[in-house]
Amino acid sequence: MKNIIEEKWDEILQYLISEYGITDVSYNTWLKPLKVYDVKDHVITILINDERIGPPSLNVIRNKYELLLKVSIEEIMNDPYEIKFVLASQMESIERNAKIPSGDNKIVPNFLNPRYTFDTFVVGGNNEFARAAALAVAENPGEIYNPLFIYGGVGLGKTHLMHSIAHFVLNQNPDMKVLYVTSEKFTNELIDAIQKKTTTHFREKYRSIDILLIDDIQFIIGKESTQEEFFHTFNTLHESKRQIIISSDRPPKEMLTLEDRLRSRFEHGLMADIQSPDYETRMAILKKKEELDGYSIDEEVLKYIATNIKSNIRELEGALTKIVAFSRLKKRELNLELAIEALQDIISPNEKKVITPDLIVDIVAEHFNISPADIYSKDKSRAISYPRQIVMYLCRRLTELSVTEIGKALGNRDHSTVIHGCDKISKDIQKDTSIHNTVDVLIKKINPE
Ligand SMILES: Nc1ncnc2c1ncn2[C@@H]1O[C@H](COP(=O)(O)OP(=O)(O)OP(=O)(O)O)[C@@H](O)[C@H]1O
């Protein structure tokens, strides 16, 4: 099955060719032989067929095309990615050195993002507790905080911290069996094992490792057999004092359809959250990236980015990459004027976002891991009706619409149903801090300013 980048690869290359005027000769020599090997946590591993163009190709591709590829990928995918190049001639030995003999999500130093280490992780008030907890776990795996549950919004450094733990552990003890996997990958492997009747093998693989890092666990909620399998994997590892590190975009108590027994397992360990970085931390992250990438950028430009991109570090970094590319390609000085021009589609300070019921439905549905159609439906189960009442409350609070209009927009509901929903959530916010926090998080997602 093709991954999302492979699916769009032709489009990405076409964009690059037309936008940056690449000639046919350059395309056929350097770009055509590139193959997307793997995509994980916003890192694309690209295979260079050096048997055809020779090992020096790595330098040429890095110097001439890496940045263009990054910018083109971001344009097409609407999301920034890091790129890692691997020579096909080295691939065989990388595969041979893999620590875990099956599956393609094994973690070996070669497959960890080399940049995601404790050294490159900028510490600020928003993440210092999570970082300290991650370091403590890396120093004493299985001994103190088990599981470690790291949670926080999109692009705030959860994966970076998880990879940092894995790097640290493997540096200390290269024989440790460390496995990093997204919960989506875990689910797909399980489905595959069930179909091929290889579940014994699947279990052996997952239950024989020393450190399991499982990213974005929120995607297993609602998937019963995956939860069941994960529950047993968790118990086996936990009982034999092997370390489990989990990440999620929200704390366990906010995963409404997560099985209670899993929730209580998760809450049993240490929970550490990562918040959005403050201005100083955003500046420090930009400076770190500037240093790592060898850029030299005016303070004024960095301040412009840090002031305007607040809630997602991936976007913050993407903005920096974009202005550097823009200045190189247009052969213009990298100053504030250029930054404003290059980032106008990301930062538009004067444009006010229009908040509609549909936008609120999309964000609330995503948060609760249900579909927008569920919100508009007649389903009365709590897993659906509660998020729906939150939508009603948020529509009332964040839009100018009347209760009748809100009812109409949410699947032709009566205005009295909307009034009841709004009242219920208002009361819950008063008496339950976790609902209060959920609503706060949702408001920030809907209206980040
Ligand atoms: N404190 C930090 N210092 C330096 N870089 C950071 C920091 N936090 C995040 N980043 C960078 O921001 C980008 C996004 O981080 P990461 O992928 O770890 O986020 P995430 O929370 O796992 O996101 P998602 O919710 O999408 O899985 C990465 O390039 C990462 O290196």
The interface predicted TM-score (ipTM) is: 0.98
Instruction: Compute CA distances 90 → 60, 99, 110, 171, whole Å.
Output: 17, 16, 11, 22
pTM given for the model? 0.69
Name the CA radius of gyration of the chain, rounded.
23
The DSSP H or E segment spanning 322 is helix 313-329
d(CA 389, CA 418): 8
Instruction: Return the CATH number of 279-348, one of 3.40.50.620, 1.10.287.3510, 3.40.50.150, 1.10.8.60.
Output: 1.10.8.60
Tell me how crowded residue 42 is: count the other CB atoms within 10 A of its CB.
Answer: 16
Q: Which overall architecture, per CATH, does domain 1-97 show? A: 2-Layer Sandwich (3.30)
Cite the DSSP H helix spans in 78-178: 88-96, 128-139, 158-172
Tell which atom from ligand 1 comes closest to the C-alpha of 277: 1
d(CA 75, CA 339): 16
Q: How many A from CA of 245 to the centre of ligand 1?
A: 16
| Atom 23, ligand 1: residue with shortest CA distance | 155
Q: How many A from CA of 121 to the centre of ligand 1?
A: 9
Q: What is the largest CA-CA distance in the chain?
A: 71
For residue 410, the model assigns a pLDDT of 94
All structural domains of the chain with their residue ranges: 1-97, 118-273, 279-348, 357-446
Would you place residue 259 in the very low, low, confident or very high pLDDT band (cuts 50, 70, 90)?
A: confident
pLDDT in tens, 51-72: 655 555 677 788 888 888 998 9
Q: The tokens of 72 are what? A: 């083109």
Tell which atom from ligand 1 comes closest to the C-alpha of 249: 25
Tell which atom from ligand 1 comes closest to the C-alpha of 127: 1
Name all residues whose Cβ lies below 6 A of ligand 1: 41-42, 116, 120-122, 127, 152, 154-160, 216, 249, 285, 288, 313-314, 317
* Ligand 1 mutation pick, 70, 112, 116, 156, max ligand atoms within 8 A of CB: 156
Q: What are phi and psi of 143, to 5 degrees?
A: -105, -40
Report the topology of domain 357-446.
Chromosomal Replication Initiator Protein Dnaa; Chain: A; (1.10.1750)
Model confidence at 96: pLDDT above 50: no
Q: Which residue, among 395, 394, 388, 393, has the nearest Cα to 411 in the 3D structure?
A: 388
- Is the Cβ–Cβ distance between 282 and 309 less than 8 Å? yes
| Atom 29, ligand 1: residue with shortest CA distance | 314
Report the topology of domain 118-273.
Rossmann fold (3.40.50)
- Is the Cβ–Cβ distance between 286 and 316 less than 8 Å? yes
- 3-class state of residue 47 by DSSP: strand
Comparison of pLDDT for 340 and 310, the residue scoring more:
340
* Ligand 1 mutation pick, 42, 313, 445, max ligand atoms within 8 A of CB: 313
d(CA 433, CA 253): 11
